[in-house]
Chains A and B, each alone.
Chain A
Amino acid sequence: MSRKYKGFYGVFIIVSLFLFVPACSNSEETSTNNNDGDNETSNDEMSDSEIEFSVFAADDNPSWNGMDSPVGQEILNATGVSLDADFALGDPAERISLFAASGDYPDFILPKGDGGLMVDAGAMVDLRPLIEEHGPNIKEVYGDYLDRMTWSEDDDAIYFLGTNGVDQEYWSPGNGFWLQHAVVEELGYPEINTLEDFENAIAEYYEMYPEIDGQPTIPLSLLADDWRMLISVTNPAFFATGGSDDGEWFIDHETQEAILHYRRPEEREYFRWLNHMNNEGLLDPETFVQQEDQYISKISSGRVLGMIDAEWSIADAQTALREDGKQERMHGIYPVTLDDTFKQANFQDAGYLAEWGIGITVDNPDPVRAIKFLDWMASEEAQILNNWGIEGEHYQYDDEGNRHLTEEQREERLSDSKFNERTGINVFTAYGPNYGDGVLDSEGQPFTINTPETVVEDYTDKEKEVLAAYDAEIWADLFPSSDEFPVKPWGAGWEINWSSDSPIAVPFQRAEDTMMTRIPEAILADEDEFDEVYDRFMEELEGHGVEEMEQEFTKLIQKRIELWDEE
């Protein structure tokens, strides 16, 4: 028998070794491809020929349909560049880490928050000299913001060009507390400013209508599926207590000191309120169990009275309700805070967020061609194409020479979920510099199709009715405007990254892991046990060394403020 099994030993050892194949890094060719465009002639010849660039984007683009769409074809004709895009599934950091470890990069990359991994690996081309030579449109679009893209105080290079809309004006609140129109209507449009108002509205309506369309009413539902918990459970804690979005941090305006936002005593009160909601039976018992599709289908059924979430997170459900003609079951957004002393800071200005963007890697066969492509994307022609589509087909000029959409064209954009995929409109915008809503072109017309008027046009009749009852035209009117807050000199906290060997990295991950377990536990605890659970949570955080970590992060913020001040 022993001989028979001897063979197995060998096989098994090999199999077990094979199971753990650590990726070997080997990127010797990192610096060889970096020609800074000193051979102009060859490039001009090349611009006639077609070239394909691979793109990796950390954000999924569900409308991506290659270059086949009409807009894609236009781009191909104008530049000769076709993009072969690849998107992250799940956590983009995993893919980007693999790129960095393997030394095998896509031609363009949009790593979102994980650009540091690529830069550390020497994977990125410095765009500054390329822009100087080939990027007039890029300079035009960004203006002074270009300096915000400087990598660090030790490294003067620009590796990524921001792909957020430049000078974007915001007319729709992205974060807040959502209430069904039917609820406020039934209750005679009460003021909805504090958690108490919000709770009372929900509770009263729930008592009146324990069932909607024959199914049990759900008073308040949240989504805690993986990282979505940050959006729907923990971020609202700082929004309700006067903070604006700095990711997991709360940064003091005067001292510029950062702490993990859930360590603030104010936010403990917010979570106490959620705990109270749960003990009152007003919080959906499936909150921490449900997956995103369950959550969306519940809201779409019209029996969820209130949500606390970001606009993009529930947009699909609102569209579904609209398509079903259940206008009164759609939701309005209200600036709810813990009490009257706080102002909802959804519209607080962080300045232009330049850090998340597109960069060219050293594997790109022709960086000059690549920057020329980005420069073309920044041109007026390209931006109008990306936002409006093709003249005569997707928009036309009216008698005064203004671009406009007919009723049908507008409706098509709103209701056809395949519109972008079919036409290519707004599909390529994310892969180049672009202006935001409200910016005017050289003829004084907006680059994007959105204006405050179009925002109102998109509202349902019911929505207009509700807004009229609150003396408002758009939802943003209910919220404190951006002039009421100072501009954040550090940009946005969630944009500030740290390297993998930074003393922030491990404690941060541990704190997040702890938070993901303890906050649900605290919310679901009995009312008199809440403090006990939360105190233990705070102690655990201190055990992970979060205080030193916060000091380190404060240093990063101060460095960044200094870097930007030098401009």
Chain B
Amino acid sequence: MEIGKKKAQPNLWVPDNKKNFWKTMKNQKILYLMSIPFVVWIFVFNYLPVWGWTMAFQDFRPGRSITEQEWVGFKHFITLFQDPHFYLVLRNTLVMSLMLLIVGFTIPIIFAVSLNELKDSLFKRSVQTISYLPHFVSWVVVAGIVTKMLSTDGGIINDLLVSLNIIESPIQFMAQGHWFWVILTGADIWKEMGWNSIIFLAAMAGVDPQLYEAARVDGANRWRRIWHITLPGIRPTIMVILILSIGNMISIGFERQLLLGNSLVREYSEVLELYALNYGIGMGNYSYGTALGIFNSMVSIILLLLANGFFKRMSNTSVM
């Protein structure tokens, strides 16, 4: 709590009684006026649409007014939780997002730390640029590249492994259900590693160079400096991004899975959002899709609160 007080900014000062509040408001009325457009914007685009959640409790038919809709209570939620397929896609979603979270977090940090240690800035900048370029390649193209590279018919990976005598005959990488998660994670790392490391590099640039000098004087070697200065220096950034990612764990998108998947790995590749698409919008069953959306939002909020509570406790102990 000591730290919190030190860092508190004057504008966020909260009055402790009503009289003071109105007084402050009067004093700062220009500031309040300036914030109105944004509050309205948030209300219109983020709160009004929540009205659409009512669809989950109806048998929604497009083109009818709300009074003409048929209300069915929790019917769609019950169907959802009784569908074994739903648990399969939920498992796939959670496993894949967990893998993406773990690998997609450690590797960019390691990459950023190594780049940060480089002295030659031209080399450093070119590596950085090259490494984040794949971020701008669409998943359609990436999926094409990955499929071709892993092909048994002249795919480069199989050719390499065979010519090095590591394997005897080409392996059908894309046909193995349990490998799908690995391939997806690998492809994602290739595509997003450079991009995700940018923010860590920026955070490292903000670390006070005097700290490094002091450490060097005290005889800390390079590993020590990374461990005691660089990593603690970017810890707030890491935590903010981690909390954000955990909140988004359940909504990991479906393009990657859809494009890399095939009929042999469907049981491993189908994710929640694809399921919502197929059984919700795809079938014109908006209510079911909305019910699934509400489930998603609820899980996201819960995950977020848990993660935040956990890290608050963690950082408190580490501060004390």
In the complex, what distance in Å separates the CA atom of A20 from the CA atom of B55? 13
**Are A516 and B266 also in contact (CB < 8 A) when A101-B286, A294-B151 are?**
yes
Chain B 124-158 interface 0/1 with A at a Cβ cutoff of 8 Å (1 = within)? 00000000000000000001100110011100000
Asked if A496 is at the interface of the complex by the 8 Å CB criterion, the answer is: no
**A-chain residues with CB within 8 Å of residue B49 when the two chains form the complex:** 17-18, 21-22, 24
Asked if A13 is at the interface of the complex by the 8 Å CB criterion, the answer is: yes
**B-chain residues with CB within 8 Å of residue A505 when the two chains form the complex:** 283, 285
B285 nearest CB neighbor, chain A only: A500
In the complex, what distance in Å separates the CA atom of A561 from the CA atom of B130? 63
In the complex, what distance in Å separates the CA atom of A27 from the CA atom of B148? 47
Asked if B219 is at the interface of the complex by the 8 Å CB criterion, the answer is: no
**A-chain residues with CB within 8 Å of residue B92 when the two chains form the complex:** none
B296 nearest CB neighbor, chain A only: A20
Contact B293 A20 (CB under 8 A): yes
Contact A22 B53 (CB under 8 A): yes
Chain B 285-311 interface 0/1 with A at a Cβ cutoff of 8 Å (1 = within)? 110011001101100110011001000
B294 nearest CB neighbor, chain A only: A20
Chain B 13-26 interface 0/1 with A at a Cβ cutoff of 8 Å (1 = within)? 00000000000000
**B-chain residues with CB within 8 Å of residue A117 when the two chains form the complex:** 62, 284
Asked if A123 is at the interface of the complex by the 8 Å CB criterion, the answer is: yes
A298 nearest CB neighbor, chain B only: B153
Stretch at the interface among A2-10, A272-280, A388-396, A449-457: A2-10
In the complex, what distance in Å separates the CA atom of A516 from the CA atom of B262? 9
In the complex, what distance in Å separates the CA atom of A202 from the CA atom of B282? 40
Contact B63 A25 (CB under 8 A): yes
Contact A509 B297 (CB under 8 A): no
Chain B 187-226 interface 0/1 with A at a Cβ cutoff of 8 Å (1 = within)? 0000000000000000000000000000000000000000
Contact B46 A289 (CB under 8 A): no
Contact A289 B172 (CB under 8 A): yes
**B-chain residues with CB within 8 Å of residue A314 when the two chains form the complex:** none
Asked if B12 is at the interface of the complex by the 8 Å CB criterion, the answer is: yes
**B-chain residues with CB within 8 Å of residue A1 when the two chains form the complex:** 1, 3-4, 312, 315-316, 319
**Are A19 and B251 also in contact (CB < 8 A) when A25-B62, A101-B286, A289-B147 are?**
yes
Which residues of chain A (428-445) have a CB below 8 Å from chain B? none
Contact B51 A517 (CB under 8 A): no
Asked if B110 is at the interface of the complex by the 8 Å CB criterion, the answer is: no
- Residue among A12, A15, A120, A519 having the largest count of chain B Cβ atoms under 10 Å: A12
Contact A20 B4 (CB under 8 A): no
- Residue among B62, B240, B301 having the largest count of chain A Cβ atoms under 10 Å: B62
Task: Specify which of A17, A122, A294 is in contact with B297 (CB 8 Å cutoff).
Answer: A17
Chain B 170-188 interface 0/1 with A at a Cβ cutoff of 8 Å (1 = within)? 0010110000000000000
**A-chain residues with CB within 8 Å of residue B283 when the two chains form the complex:** 93, 500, 505-506, 509
Contact A101 B62 (CB under 8 A): yes
Asked if A34 is at the interface of the complex by the 8 Å CB criterion, the answer is: no
Asked if A520 is at the interface of the complex by the 8 Å CB criterion, the answer is: yes
Asked if B162 is at the interface of the complex by the 8 Å CB criterion, the answer is: no
B247 nearest CB neighbor, chain A only: A12
B8 nearest CB neighbor, chain A only: A3
Chain A 511-534 interface 0/1 with B at a Cβ cutoff of 8 Å (1 = within)? 001001101110010000000000
Contact A100 B284 (CB under 8 A): yes
Interface of B is mostly: helix
In the complex, what distance in Å separates the CA atom of A8 from the CA atom of B243? 9
Contact B85 A27 (CB under 8 A): no
Contact A520 B263 (CB under 8 A): yes
Task: Specify which of B4, B60, B152, B286 is in contact with A3 (CB 8 Å cutoff).
Answer: B4
Asked if A208 is at the interface of the complex by the 8 Å CB criterion, the answer is: no
In the complex, what distance in Å separates the CA atom of A521 from the CA atom of B262? 12
Contact A98 B297 (CB under 8 A): no
**Are A14 and B262 also in contact (CB < 8 A) when A1-B3, A5-B308 are?**
no
In the complex, what distance in Å separates the CA atom of A114 from the CA atom of B243? 42
**A-chain residues with CB within 8 Å of residue B247 when the two chains form the complex:** 12, 15-16
Task: Specify which of B4, B264, B297, B304 is in contact with A4 (CB 8 Å cutoff).
Answer: B4
Contact B263 A22 (CB under 8 A): no
Contact B263 A516 (CB under 8 A): yes
**A-chain residues with CB within 8 Å of residue B118 when the two chains form the complex:** none
Tell me how many residues of A have a C-beta within 8 Å of chain B.
67
Contact B312 A286 (CB under 8 A): no
Contact A286 B152 (CB under 8 A): yes
Asked if B52 is at the interface of the complex by the 8 Å CB criterion, the answer is: yes
Contact B1 A501 (CB under 8 A): no
In the complex, what distance in Å separates the CA atom of A291 from the CA atom of B150? 12
**Are A286 and B151 also in contact (CB < 8 A) when A17-B46, A24-B49 are?**
yes
**A-chain residues with CB within 8 Å of residue B42 when the two chains form the complex:** 14
**A-chain residues with CB within 8 Å of residue B51 when the two chains form the complex:** 24
Q: How far is the CB of A522 from chain B (nearest CB, A)?
A: 12
Contact B62 A22 (CB under 8 A): no
In the complex, what distance in Å separates the CA atom of A15 from the CA atom of B304? 11
**Are A94 and B281 also in contact (CB < 8 A) when A9-B308, A100-B63 are?**
yes
**Are A94 and B282 also in contact (CB < 8 A) when A16-B300, A224-B263, A516-B266 are?**
yes
**Are A288 and B263 also in contact (CB < 8 A) when A3-B4, A117-B62, A506-B279 are?**
yes
Contact A290 B151 (CB under 8 A): yes
Contact A288 B262 (CB under 8 A): yes
Chain A 208-241 interface 0/1 with B at a Cβ cutoff of 8 Å (1 = within)? 0000000010100000110001000000000000
A1 nearest CB neighbor, chain B only: B4
B65 nearest CB neighbor, chain A only: A28
**A-chain residues with CB within 8 Å of residue B278 when the two chains form the complex:** 509, 513
In the complex, what distance in Å separates the CA atom of A510 from the CA atom of B85? 9
In the complex, what distance in Å separates the CA atom of A176 from the CA atom of B27? 82
B3 nearest CB neighbor, chain A only: A1
Enumerate 27 A-B pairs (CB-CB under 8 Å) in ascending A order: A2-B1, A2-B4, A2-B312, A9-B308, A12-B243, A13-B304, A16-B297, A16-B300, A17-B47, A17-B297, A19-B248, A23-B52, A27-B63, A28-B65, A97-B282, A97-B284, A101-B62, A114-B284, A224-B262, A289-B151, A289-B172, A289-B264, A291-B147, A293-B144, A501-B285, A509-B278, A516-B263
B interface residue numbers (CB < 8 A to A): 1, 3-4, 7-8, 12, 42, 45-47, 49-53, 55, 59-65, 85, 143-144, 147-148, 151-153, 172, 174-175, 240, 243-244, 247-248, 251, 262-264, 266-267, 277-279, 281-286, 289-290, 293-294, 296-297, 300-301, 304-305, 308, 312, 315-316, 319
9 interchain residue pairs of minimum CB distance:
A500-B284, A22-B52, A121-B63, A20-B293, A121-B62, A289-B174, A100-B62, A21-B49, A16-B300
